[in-house]
Structure 1
């Protein structure tokens, strides 16, 4: 059978399979139980609540600006001008707020792992400029005990979803947490950086793989950028050429 015919049959089979699944399990909105046309969509009621990050934004850390006049020289925010991060660029799908938490927190804490593919599609679109030419996708690691308690690392699920779409290899265990840290939620950027210093390392079995690599670091939420910066530090020290950051959501105003 010609390859073109095999391809058409494969696509037809996949379409029939998807149709059967949709009949048995009708697709629901990412954020609620309302029906939608295809899996991974937001319904008409939820969509207006989500604030997608678009221009104007900081060219470096991706924080959204209220208006273009907030951008300083070279399109950077005040924080990036004062202390440029080690990563080259960061991008995210949504602002982290009540709406995006309705999707991200169930993935992170409530075993809603089926949300990862849909978020991965959105992230692949938001991070297109980062993924173009990327060599590796590397998820932000969890410490062993936190991974045991949660049973999965949501950043790994997101990285694999993005990797399938962007056709970029994923190395889920390239980075590891060598020391557990307390919750960082109440800390500012400088405090987070101090707590995170020395907590992340490149796994010994992957040393040498980073030489000259253009890496995209993947996480669910980008807050102050302290975790991403610590990851970027060890990746660059081990030979990575560049490190970019791709997240599902980012806090609009990083804590000073």
Structure 2
């Protein structure tokens, strides 16, 4: 069975099973816990508190950033549930919000490569998944590009960067992220979208951008679910 046909079968099965899932696990807003109509959304109040930023920021070297939301109390709860609460089903919702902010791609040409920010193998083992890679795969399913989840490697383990300032993050990340040499030709001449869940100081993004730039891509942009504004970095999970 071809991949597209297999995905269609899975989607049809999911639609048939949805009423059973709702009966066993009544839909709840993943942010506040109130009852909602479906498993794939937020309650009206939480929707209303999500803040959409102006898309005019840069992660460094003029690389544009497309963020679905500004990091606030609601988006923070979603990130905590997704990344630390194991609610990986939220990847579809978060990716859908990211996709809404990405510019439409013109006709023709190769689709952009969706490159997730990598996790060190030990953190991947302890968490069980790379949240950025899941977002990249969901964006690919939505037709927003081609997932390239192995393009970057975090070959050196770094401590949790939450609460650290920009300079401290830069020091911790220096030399920690590299391009997989086997992926270099794949990235050459292609539009690349770096995917992450949260953009804080931009230190991690800049380390990834520097590694990607070595392959000679046509362009680099950053896509994330939440962008942390100055003054809120101490509340990072």
Q: Distance in 2 between matches of 1:34 and 1:198?
A: 44
Counterpart for residue 196 of structure 1:
173
Q: Determine whether 1:165 maps to 2:107.
A: no
Counterpart for residue 206 of structure 1:
183
Q: Determine whether 1:244 maps to 2:221.
A: yes
CA displacement 1:115-152 (0-9 Å, x = unmatched): 1111111111122x176675200100001111111111
Q: Distance in 2 between matches of 1:22 and 1:216?
A: 35
2:198, 2:224 within 8 Å by CA — same for their partners in 1?
yes
2:30, 2:81 within 8 Å by CA — same for their partners in 1?
no
Counterpart for residue 4 of structure 2:
none
Give the 3-state SS of the residue equivalent to 1:123 in structure 2. helix
Return the TM-score normalized by structure 2. 0.82
Give the 3-state SS of the residue equivalent to 1:147 in structure 2. helix
Cα separation, partners in 2 of 1:215 and 1:177, compared to 1, 3 Å:
same
Larger radius of gyration: 1
Q: Determine whether 1:182 maps to 2:179.
A: no
Give the 3-state SS of the residue equivalent to 1:92 in structure 2. strand
Q: Distance in 1 between matches of 2:144 and 2:229?
A: 29
Q: Determine whether 1:86 maps to 2:83.
A: no
Return the TM-score normalized by structure 1. 0.77
The answer for unaligned runs of 5 or more in structure 2 is: 1-9
Supply the RMSD in Å over aligned alpha carbons: 2.6
**Aligned ranges 1:32-71 → 2 under 5 Å:** 32-53=32-53, 57=54, 59-61=56-58
CA displacement 1:135-170 (0-9 Å, x = unmatched): 200100001111111111111111111111134110
Q: CA deviation at 1:34?
A: 2.1
Q: Distance in 2 between matches of 1:14 and 1:96?
A: 31
Give the 3-state SS of the residue equivalent to 1:161 in structure 2. helix
The answer for unaligned runs of 5 or more in structure 1 is: 1-9, 62-83
CA displacement 1:39-65 (0-9 Å, x = unmatched): 322112323332232xxx36232xxxx
CA displacement 1:221-253 (0-9 Å, x = unmatched): 000111111111110111212111111101022
Q: Distance in 2 between matches of 1:135 and 1:205?
A: 18
2:63, 2:220 within 8 Å by CA — same for their partners in 1?
yes
Cα separation, partners in 2 of 1:197 and 1:12, compared to 1, 3 Å:
closer
Q: Distance in 2 between matches of 1:152 and 1:170?
A: 15
